[in-house]
Amino acid sequence: MSSADHRRRAHQRPESFRCLECRLDVSVHAPGTAHRNHCPSCLTSRHVDQHRPGDRASPCRSRMEPIAVSVRGDGEWVLVHRCTGCGALSANRTAGDDNPLLLVRIAVRPLAQPPFPLELLGQI
């Protein structure tokens, strides 16, 4: 059983990384972004950057889950990740081949789970 666990094996190639969530091998080259840092399939990332995107200076290395989508002034969508290890937040550019269904699901999550009945809005 445990022989199937390859997590301890050094698997660091600069050209790709393996998703901590779905195990997909992901190329760092992606359309629309200079440095891909999250999985295009499940949008999971890893806490490797400390100060700047791509500096790989963080000792945390924990899994980062996508929690929200933000929109920049030019209309570009930005994916917000939260680290499951230390709670750090980071904003990351979306790539052209990111899973669109998952992106939309994250974007509408607050509307799907409102803290008050949405019917109240009709009474304002």
Residues at the interface with Zn ion (CB under 5 A): 19, 21-22, 24, 39, 41-42, 44, 47, 60, 62, 83, 85-86, 88
Q: Quote the least distance from Cβ 11 to Zn ion, whole Å.
A: 15
What residues contact residue 65 under an 8 Å CB cut-off, 6+ apart?
44, 45, 81, 82, 84
Instruction: Pick between residue 46 and residue 93 the one whose CB is nearest to Zn ion.
Output: 46
Q: Quote the least distance from Cβ 85 to Zn ion, whole Å.
A: 4
Instruction: Pick between residue 22 and residue 71 the one whose CB is nearest to Zn ion.
Output: 22
Instruction: Pick between residue 99 and residue 107 the one whose CB is nearest to Zn ion.
Output: 99
- 3-state helix, strand, coil split of the chain in percent (to 5) is 20, 25, 55
> Do the Cβ atoms of 12 and 54 come closer than 8 Å?
no
